[in-house]
Amino acid sequence: MNLSRPMDALMRFSRFALPVLALLAACSDPATVTKAQTPSLSDAPLAQPIRRPPPNAAAISLSFSPIVKKSAPAVVNVHAERRVRQQVDPFWEFFGGGGVPRERVEGSLGSGAIVREDGVVVTNNHVIEGADQLRVVLNDRREFPARVLLADPRSDLAVLKIDPKGEKLPVLPIADRDDAEIGDLVLAIGDPFGVGQTVTNGIISALARSDIGITDFSFFIQTDAPINPGNSGGPLVDMAGNMIGVNTAIFSRTGASAGIGFAIPAPMVRRVVESALGGGSSVVRPWLGARTQTVDAETARSLGLDRPQGVLVAQVYPGGPADRAGLRAGDIILSLAGQSVNDQGAVNYIVATRKPGDQFDLQIRRGGQARGVSIRLERPPATPARDERTLAGRTPFTGATVVNLSPAVADELGADPFLTGVMVTSPGTSIAAQAGFRRGDIIREVNGRPVDRVADLATITTAGRWRIVLERNGQRVTAEF
């Protein structure tokens, strides 16, 4: 099985298969489940399903058509074209100067939704990523060139703009409430496999799916409405005709719908769209100023809890929002802004949908007692100064781009905001790349000297022997040159 973004012929996959297979195997024996769930109710009569015919002709003809008529005109196709340099086999091009790179155009198709009548469109970032040219095709088959207002890889959302020449386009409203429930009916609208606009229906199968691994802020709506390649970026619509999510990925053996689709919830969509309309080139997200971890069964036992619940505060950043709110290491966060949290992904998502300066309440447990705490979010601090530069000279670092880590830089790079030191953001294509440095490496020591700032590396010019200590994926690595 694969978890894939239903975008184009080049399907993308995730490492989600094994946990799901394990879950299915655990739930595959109905007899075992029945025995485990009803040992004390063996003599109780089973509830009979209520069966009755439709009460009238009107009930027989109930239809989703009114919702489709309201929503579908605002759903669009997004065509992305990329120019790719392709190396030609010298054997076949021997007589024509073979081996010369050629350019070819690679296209992909996704979906999107118009969210403002002057031509603002929201879609998935992976639909438009790396595109040299974008076209948006409306429901009435008119085509418009599009430009990117904002692309946010961390949420896998992008906001586009087309020019309808003063015409007011149909709009699909982004839901302003986050009250979807498991079992709610939904529609998925998009252009699967390029066959043309298609509507499918299903229910919300699950909420707050946070272990998917597709984006930095996983908190997906799961639906069984059939979603296929080409549906990426299209809306998940509720029975009021509002967009409650953006369809982003499917879980499937073959890449086609298997009844397990994932959509980015409306609060994140609204946050990214508001950032784009505010003129921002990126989404400025606040931070909590605390490192958290999910409370599993083992952690719950060590904390004296009768069951896993909440999220453990493992570390508090000095002077950060959590510190000023009075949070301490060892506190258990039970809810944020009225939403219960049971894993680290939920905390990250809720904070990421807020703005710097927003204030809300947390419910925490400390010393066996529940209490309320008020917190005001802010931007991650940008101290020390960024000082990003590409290193020159005759060293193993030549050609590498490095930067001073701060909570702000770490957040931008998707790294742990508690990390400090100097990080490699690009090894380049020169000596540093040949030496084996990778993006994300943190340089800790050079020839026994601690490296705390980019300036420390920049002052190193020559040495007969290089002994470098770096941190890679949480492991310390020593290399000698």
Q: How far is residue 163 from each of residues 119, 137, 235, 276, measured CA to CA in Å?
A: 6, 12, 21, 16
Q: How far is residue 220 from each of residues 184, 249, 256, 416, measured CA to CA in Å?
A: 15, 10, 19, 22
Rounded-to-integer distance, Cα 331 and Cα 353, Å: 23
Q: Residues 149-154: contacts with CB within 8 Å, 24+ apart? A: 149/120, 149/276, 149/277, 150/272, 150/275, 150/276, 150/280, 150/281, 150/282, 150/283, 151/125, 152/125, 152/272, 152/275, 152/282, 152/283, 153/125, 153/129, 154/215, 154/216, 154/217, 154/283, 154/414
Rounded-to-integer distance, Cα 409 and Cα 6, Å: 31
* Half-sphere CA count of 102, side-chain side, radius 13 A: 11
Decide if 221 contacts 180 (C-beta within 8 A).
yes
Beta bridge partners of 83: 105
* Half-sphere CA count of 128, side-chain side, radius 13 A: 29
Structure tokens that stand for 422 in this block: 């100097």
Containing 455, the helix (H) or strand (E) segment is helix 454-458
Residue-wise DSSP of 302-336: HTT-SS--SEEEEEE-TTSHHHHHT--TT-EEEEE
- Name the residues annotated as catalytic: 126, 156, 232
First to last CA, the chain: 43
Rounded-to-integer distance, Cα 481 and Cα 476, Å: 17
Structure tokens that stand for 415 in this block: 């790294």
Structure tokens that stand for 153 in this block: 């890889």
Structure tokens that stand for 264 in this block: 């980015």
Rounded-to-integer distance, Cα 380 and Cα 122, Å: 27
Residue with tokens 């380049």: 428
